[in-house]
Each structure stands twice: as C-alpha cells, then as structure tokens.
Structure 1
Amino acid sequence: MFFPAFGFDLFFLLFVIVFVVVLVRNLREWSRNNASPRLSVPATVVARRRAHHYNGGTHTSSTSYYATFQFESGDRLELRLPWRDAGLIAEGDRGMLHFQGTRYLGFDRDSTV
C-alpha cells in the first residue's frame, strides 16, 4: 500500500541526514585547516582544471577552479582556487605557494622565470 505522507516523511528525513552529513564534513575540514600551520613553500603549477556544477532543477550552474602544485620534494597538492586567482595562474608557473591545510591562501609567481 502507498502512503504519500510516509513518502514525504522519508524524503524529509533523508534530506536532513544528507544536510547534517555535509555540514559535519565541512565543519571538520574547516577545523582541520584552522589547526594546520600556514605554510609558504616553493612550488610549480603542474596542472589546472575546472569543474562545472549544474543544477537542472533551478537552471543554475557554477564553476570551481583547481590547480595542482608540485613541491621540490616531488609531492603534489591540488587546491581549490578562488575565481579571482584562477585566471592568473598557468601551468609551468613557479613561485611561492601559501596554504593552510587544504585551504589556498595565495601564490606569488617568480618574476625571474
């Protein structure tokens, strides 16, 4: 037997659970970033990408920008960039990367290269 009220309650409960999980995950990452030291490390930009997010229900979209930085040790780190910095960074750029955990703080390109 189909109970419309039960379906609504179940949908609402799933929505609340997903909302709480996402909220807890974001708060945990924010807290870890705040507890991490602010670092400034020489790095090279080895890749860039952008991710498009579409919401068909409201016909809206957004774009996220990412850059992968390689350190002198060979380790790599991909960070999400603010839109204002995304167009200023190109693959092959060398400079000083400023970050805190997974939070991008800035990139000062070497002017001698």
Structure 2
Amino acid sequence: MDFAYGSGDFMFHFAPIFITVVFVIVFGTILVRSVKGISQWHKNNESPVLTVPARLVAKRTAVHHYTNNTGPDTVTNDTSTTYFATFEVASGDRIEFHVKGTEYGMLAEGDRGRLTFQGTRYLGFERDRSAV
C-alpha cells in the first residue's frame, strides 16, 4: 500500500474516511441536540406552572441572516429574529425567556406584574394595571 502523493492512491483511501468522519460528526450533533431538546421539553412538562410577581428588566433580539443559492443566477437572503425578555423576581433572580414577537412588542422595560412560566417555558406576563 503505497501512499505516494503522485499516484492518486492517497485520495482513494483518505476520501471515504474523511466523508465518514464528517457524517458521524454531523449526525452526532443532530442526535445530541435532539436529545437535549426532548429532555428539556420533558423537564418543562414535569415542572409546576408558577405565577410570581416580577419586573421586566431587559429585552433583546437575536437576528440571524441566511443566504441561499437557489439557482445558478439566483441568491435569496432571509432573516429571522428571535425575541427574549428578562424578568427579575422578588428574590432578585433574573430569568430570561424566549417570547413571541407579538408578546415582545407589548412588553416595556420596567413593567411590573405577574409572570407565569413552567420550567424554562414562558407562559405569559400580566402587567400590574395599578402601576400605570
């Protein structure tokens, strides 16, 4: 088995190993992320639904840009935005939740009210109307 670079044998031996390693890494990453997601979903379902007094201390967004080559002369650009809200509860702990865009738009930093959540799952925030 001669791995001389000029003979081309090296690539015939290296390419299948490289492709297999890449496949295992990609498949392994997908599997680990899926297991983590299912585990978190299960933990959230097992957690009690809590409603606690809270104050909205911060809002933020994460914007992701995607470029897709859909044809020889066609490129499309897509953008997605993920919305987050951070609440502070009576103990001083801060909890950040992923929220829907419509909910994000209705929240204002400094709002006080009652936060409802289950594990890491945001269920809602009812503003204290007497503070308005």
Which position in structure 2 is the counterpart of 1:53?
A: 64
Give the corresponding residue for 1:36.
47
Gaps of 5+ in 2: 1-9, 70-76
Q: Does 1:88 align with 2:106?
A: yes
In the alignment, what sits opposite 2:17?
6
SS of aligned partner of 2:129? coil
Q: Residues 13-28 of structure 1 correspond to what in structure 2 (within 5 A)?
A: 13-28=24-39
Deviation at 1:39, TM superposition (A): 0.4
SS of 1:87 mapped into structure 2? helix
SS of the aligned residue for 1:74 comes to coil
How many residues in Structure 1 have an aligned counterpart in Structure 2? 113
- The secondary structure found in structure 2 opposite 1:46 is strand
Larger Rg: 2
Structure 2 residue aligned with 1:73, among 91, 102, 106?
91
CA shift at 1:111, angstroms?
1.3
Residue equivalent to 1:112: 130
Tell me the TM-score normalized by structure 2.
0.78
Gaps of 5+ in 1: none
For 1:27-85, what per-residue CA distance to the aligned partner results, in whole angstroms no more than 9, with x for missing partners?
11111111110001110000110111233456433111111101122111111111221
TM-score, normalisation: structure 1? 0.91
Aligned partners of 2:61 and 2:78: how far apart in 1? Answer: 17
CA 1:17–1:57 in structure 2 vs 1: closer, same or farther (change >3 Å)?
A: farther
Q: How much is the aligned-residue C-alpha RMSD, in angstroms?
A: 1.5
Secondary structure of 2:39's partner? helix
Percent same amino acid at aligned positions? 42
